[in-house]
Amino acid sequence: MWKREVIEDSYNSLSEILLIILAAASLFFQFYGGLGIFLLCFLYFRAHKWYLEHIGKEIKINQSLKRVRIHCEEEGNWEIDFTNDGLPVWGAILKLTFKDIVEPVGHPFESYHGGNLEVSVPFSMAKGEKAKVTLPVIGKRRGLCRLNRVQLIIPHLFGSGQVILDLIEPVKSTMMVFPTPAAVLVDHHHHSYEHGEVSALHSLFNDVFQPIGTREYVPGDRFQDIHWKASARTQQLQTKVFAPAVKKEWMIVVNLSEKYSITRDLETIIKHAAYLMHFAVSQNITFSLVLNVRRMGITPYYYLPSGTGRKHQQKALELLSTLSTDDATIPFHIVLQHLAIRQLVPSVLITAGILTEVDEERLRKIGTIGREIYQLHTEDKQGVVSLWNQRSKIPS
């Protein structure tokens, strides 16, 4: 787990050789008092060397797949568990290096080129002890933060020499900072005409799981809708009355490509998409998320199936949090074509990002099968979702 580097005073080896010569001379001249002193000094240097060779060999990090999720300007704790089955360690320094996605709270740190931060934490452990190093941090920007380097510096008990341990294995514990939502102009006047489970004042469909009363039976009512207990109580056939309901579903499809690189508006798009998902959850709207980031598997891009609720929103935010300018993308029109072939596109499709002529041609084909297409864009630093190629506001 560790790459060891022992730093020892170069004069120690010369001192050992000189002590051996002096001890031999004392024995030759029968100066036994001096012989004893020289031998004790020689044993000290040998013990010094043995300590540096063995200290820290049994220190282990208890790896567990733990991910702490926080929002920007929210505090959290980064915890690392250690076990020491070897010699006791006193006065050591633990150095942790990570990206400036999070920032230590209450600990001094150094900033380096490339957005790296290094924080030093005092470290001491007795033999057989288990310890937990807790580093309070605060989220500064969106992203997934890992420990790039874990270094343990163990000084010698008497200050002559030290051992530097660099962790080879990556630490599984990570910090994830969710994106900060940026407001998007949203309208509330759209109604779906598909069967669903969202309550509405008027709809051609009813939610069979939400009975709201009964009425007298009329010819043509379904047999399974008869309320037998109410019929027995009134001595007349009664039919269940259900609450009107519609289906509300969005698909948010994000194009991260801009020519041959990641779009310069990446952070803006992510913030607006985060707001749309938050709004969808508050309005009980089912939504799915598609990103044209290349991945392995049957679906060659990131696809989060339809869902609703806070847990579903958290999964979507995790996808947005891990996006980077180093991601590899696939052409957006291929993503749209794949979604259309698999018949995954719901009644409302919201696109974000730059559209090419090929992308627009694919969107026109999707629109011919009865799908409403909207586009997320920015007007005067305000996020707006409007009908594609029009200026009608977003549905709900």
What CATH number should be reported for the domain holding residue 287? 3.40.50.410
Residues 109 and 144 in one domain: yes
Residues 50 and 99 in one domain: no
Residues 70 and 161 in one domain: yes
396 located within any domain: no
Residues 277 and 293 in one domain: yes
392 located within any domain: no
Residues 279 and 204 in one domain: no
Residues 74 and 163 in one domain: yes
Closest CA to 285 of 333, 240, 252, 330: 252
Residues 379 and 328 in one domain: yes
pLDDT for 316: 94
395 located within any domain: no
Residues 30 and 110 in one domain: no
How far is residue 136 from each of residues 105, 210, 235, 278, measured CA to CA in Å?
5, 47, 69, 28
Q: Is the pLDDT of residue 390 over 60?
A: no
Q: Is the pLDDT of residue 194 over 90?
A: no
Residues 290 and 345 in one domain: yes
Q: Answer whether 355's CB lies under 8 Å from 335's CB.
A: no
**Ramachandran sector of residue 298 (left: φ over 0; alpha: ψ -120 to 50; beta: rest):** alpha
Residues 166 and 233 in one domain: no
Residues 223 and 288 in one domain: no
Residues 46 and 66 in one domain: no
Question: Model's pTM, two decimal places?
Answer: 0.73
Which of 127, 144, 178 terminates a domain? The answer is 178
Strand partners, 121: 94
Which residue, chain included where needed, has tokens 């694919």? 362
Q: Count of domains in the chain?
A: 4
Per-residue pLDDT of 239-266, as tens digits, reads 776 555 556 889 999 999 988 788 889 9
Domain that holds residue 28: 9-54
Per-residue pLDDT of 57-94, as tens digits, reads 888 888 778 889 999 999 999 988 999 988 888 889 99
